[in-house]
Amino acid sequence: MRRTLVTFLSLVLLWFLVSQANHELSPWRISVFAGGLFVVFAALRLERREGLIAVFAAGLLHDSVAPVWFGLHALLFTAAHAFIYHIRQRVHREETLVGVLAVLLANLGIFLGLSFAVARTLPTGIDPWPRLLMDLLVSQLALAAITPWFLSLQSHALAWAGDPQRPDHSRLT
Amino acid sequence: MVLGIVLAVWLILPIFIKRILRISFFELQAPVGLAASYVRDLQDYWSLRTRSNNDLIAAGRDLVRLNASYEVAIQQNESLRQQVARLESILRLPSLTRYRSEPARVARRDFNGWWQRMTVRKGRNYCITVGAPVIFSGGIVGKVAEVHAYTCTVDLISSPNLRIAATLDGDTRPLSYQGGDNPSFGPPLGIAEYVPTDASASPTSPKRLVTSGLGGVFPAGLIIGEITRLETSTDGLFKTGDVRLDPRLAEITEVTILVPLLPN
């Protein structure tokens, strides 16, 4: 429970930082989407149930401020979590590079999922894709830069909360 | 497997629980966003404190001039308002919707390829209502989409899902305005539809687009933007064109919400 709470609080911090960054970037008409970063630490380092609850709650946090079907972010985050959790046995998941690649992959999937879901609701004659592709490019570059810092922050947050990194039993099975 | 279970549970969860969850999560994050907004105000305050006395004196002098011109405008408005009331009573016309102006600071701007919204620092605590028009010195900002305890969310005029009944400045024929594409690094754009075929506009001689007052949400005469290009629509009955919106929309920090007053 403690690991879930600490991870969720770190995701609230990330949500706050991203929303402030988007506030400041708005005059340039670009925005950063960091959905992949909300998923990867929980999927790579935590046990399934702990990570899933934190990720699902972070998705609901996004849903509460977005004009989309309530639960869309949460389900997309859950899908990305399930996918990364499924493949984590086959990768060196403690390595930073693996974390960065997983974040970029998850972010791409969530971004496209969200884009297709929202694009269906737009009126005809609107072509959001040029803008979306620019946002995606900016987001991926930003995520490549900040992922090592944020994954490290989440690891340290767990340590500061008095929770030593437990050995992952699922890896042995 | 896990995803399927989560999806199934989520789909069968009663609506009222989802609604409670949505409100709870919104109110959980609201103080965080508001705190950042207040910190920005504090930063502005301390940066203004570094200004020299000469700057302040010059600003004060400019304000006095501005106030004098506003005083004259207020007197003219009052005289026009009385004239309108008199004509309404003589002609027995239904009175126009009256509004209460509620200035509010912008707490958060959220402009992306999916939606264009902003959160402002007034909500149910100031009796803001859903659908209330939001304006600034450059014209329309948008309309209130959601009202929360201490904040409300505004759908921007550049949002593709926002439609407004409009008219060309100086004309009475109604047309339709809709938010359009919002290209990166460029000004926000909208689309004007059902424009009469005798109208023309170009980047060098744009036509101003204002609200028509039809639909009952926006008062008539508020500036939407400028039509910079018009071409005949596929059916040949009307014209369709691009609307250039005020670029200040993207960096707006203060807005005015027009809260409709009840007739009684």
CATH of residue B229: 2.40.10.350
Alpha-carbon separation of residue A79 from A56, A83, A85, B43 (angstroms): 10, 6, 10, 41
The answer for A 100-159 residues in CB contact with B (under 8 A) is 114-115, 118, 121-123, 125-132, 134-135
Total residues belonging to chain B: 264
Closest-CA distance, B78 to chain A, in angstroms, reads: 37
Does some domain include residue B256? no
If DSSP codes are grouped into helix, strand and coil, which group holds residue B63? Answer: helix
Does some domain include residue B12? yes
Does some domain include residue B255? no
Does some domain include residue B125? no
ipTM of the complex: 0.83
Q: Do B29 and A29 touch (CB under 8 A)?
A: no
User: Rounded distance, CA B208 to CA B221, Å?
Assistant: 10
Q: Which residue of B has its CA nearest to A53?
A: B6
User: Rounded distance, CA B159 to CA B181, Å?
Assistant: 8
How do B254-261 and B207-211 pair as beta strands? unpaired
Q: B97-110 burial, b for 16+ CB within 10 Å, e for fewer?
A: eebeebebebbbbb
Residue A30: band (very low, low, confident or very high) from pLDDT cuts 50, 70, 90: very high
| pLDDT tens series, chain B, 264 aa | 777 888 888 888 888 898 999 988 988 888 888 898 999 999 989 988 888 889 889 999 999 999 999 999 999 999 998 998 898 889 888 776 678 889 999 999 999 888 899 999 999 999 999 999 999 988 999 999 999 989 999 999 998 888 899 999 888 888 999 988 888 888 888 999 888 888 888 888 888 999 988 877 888 889 999 999 888 888 888 888 889 999 888 889 999 999 988 755
Does some domain include residue B238? yes
Which residue's entry shows tokens 């960096």?
A: B251
User: pTM (2 decimals)?
Assistant: 0.85
Which among B134, B123, B130 has a CA at the least distance from the CA of B158?
Answer: B134
Q: Report the pLDDT value the prediction gives residue A125, as an integer from 0 to 100.
A: 74
**Non-local CB neighbours of B109 within 8 Å, separated by 6+ positions:** A22, A23, A26, B117, B118, B250, B252
Q: A39-53 burial, b for 16+ CB within 10 Å, e for fewer?
A: bbbbbbbbeeebbbb
Q: Do B161 and A132 touch (CB under 8 A)?
A: no
Amino acid found at B139: G
Does some domain include residue B10? yes
- SS3 of A65-114: HCCCCCCHHHHHHHHHHHHHHHHHHHCCCCCHHHHHHHHHHHHHHHHHHH
Range of the domain at B30: 2-49
Does some domain include residue B246? yes
Q: Which residue of B has its CA nearest to A79?
A: B3
The tens digit of pLDDT for each residue in A65-84 reads 999 889 899 999 999 999 99
Closest-CA distance, B18 to chain A, in angstroms, reads: 8
Backbone angles phi, psi at A164, to 5 degrees: -65, 150
Q: Please tell me the total count of domains within chain B.
A: 2
The answer on pLDDT for A20 being more than 70 is: yes
Q: Which residues of A touch B29 (CB under 8 A)?
A: 12, 15-16, 61, 64-65
> CB-CB: which of A15, A60, A135 is closest to B21?
A60
Other beta carbons within 10 Å of B76: 10
Does some domain include residue B197? yes
Backbone angles phi, psi at A170, to 5 degrees: -65, -25
